[in-house]
């Protein structure tokens, strides 16, 4: 996508932050894009929505990168202080729930299962089905004969035109 369009959309989204985008805002965005780039005068709203989506994606990526760089800058200063990070809270399980889980685990059969091969169903071909297939084959054969005759006719006409040209 064109970077200038994305920059325009980003700037407009920053102004509209927290507001919902409706048709009038998308239309004003389209006119601003046209005024600044002299292209996409009648761009469909689907294109504008794609540009908005891409701009939001880039804004989120920029914010994420800024947060990471901010975290990296603050991390060395926090390391210089000599305090250990707080231990994470480990949730405890109620004894009744733990007993229930143990009962279920003991009832489970952990032996590997054998795969049973099911016999394939026999294929039954009735006379009507076979007859319909033979009719289709005959229809294809006649169509191929007709195409062959037409190709022979065209080949003869081409040879006649070649002979007349010489």
**Which of these, 28, 26, 31, lies nearest to 51 by C-alpha position?**
26
Pick from 34-38, 89-93, 131-135 the range whose average pLDDT is largest: 131-135
C-beta separation of 58 from 6 below 8 A: yes
Least confident of 26-30, 69-73, 126-130: 69-73
Burial class (CB in 10 A: 0-12, 13-18, 19+), 32: middle
Task: Copy the structure tokens of residue 84.
Answer: 């250990």
* The pair of three-digit structure tokens given for residue 119, joined into one six-digit string: 């016999």
Which residue ranges make up each domain of the chain? 3-76, 124-166
Rounded alpha-carbon distances, angstroms, from residue 42 to 34, 48, 107: 9, 10, 68
Please name the residues in contact with 39: beta carbons below 8 A apart, sequence gap of 6 or more: 33
* Residue range 102-161, pLDDT digits in tens: 888 887 766 677 788 888 888 777 888 889 999 999 999 999 999 999 999 999 999 999
Q: How far apart are CA 107 and CA 15, in angstroms?
A: 61
Please list, residue by residue across 10-22, b when 16 or more beta carbons sit within 10 angstroms of its beta carbon and e when fewer do: bebbeeeeeeeee
Q: What are 5-25's pLDDT values in tens digits?
A: 888 888 888 888 878 888 888
Rounded to whole angstroms, the Cα distance separating 65 from 7 reads: 18
């Amino acid at each position: 996508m064109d970077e200038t369009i994305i920059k325009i959309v980003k700037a407009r989204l920053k102004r509209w932050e927290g507001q919902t985008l409706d048709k009038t805002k998308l239309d004003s965005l389209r006119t601003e894009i046209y005024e600044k780039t002299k292209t996409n005068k009648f761009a469909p709203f689907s294109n504008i929505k794609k540009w908005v989506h891409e701009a939001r994606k880039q804004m989120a990526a920029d914010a994420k990168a800024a947060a990471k760089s901010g975290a990296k800058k603050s991390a060395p200063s926090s390391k210089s202080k000599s305090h250990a990070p707080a231990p994470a809270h480990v949730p405890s399980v109620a004894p009744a729930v733990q007993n229930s889980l143990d009962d279920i685990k003991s009832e489970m059969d952990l032996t590997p299962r054998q795969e049973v091969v099911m016999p394939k169903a026999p294929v039954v071909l009735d006379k009507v089905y076979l007859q319909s297939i033979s009719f289709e084959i005959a229809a294809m054969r006649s169509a191929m004969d007709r195409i062959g005759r037409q190709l022979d006719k065209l080949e003869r006409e081409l040879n006649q035109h070649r002979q007349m040209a010489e």
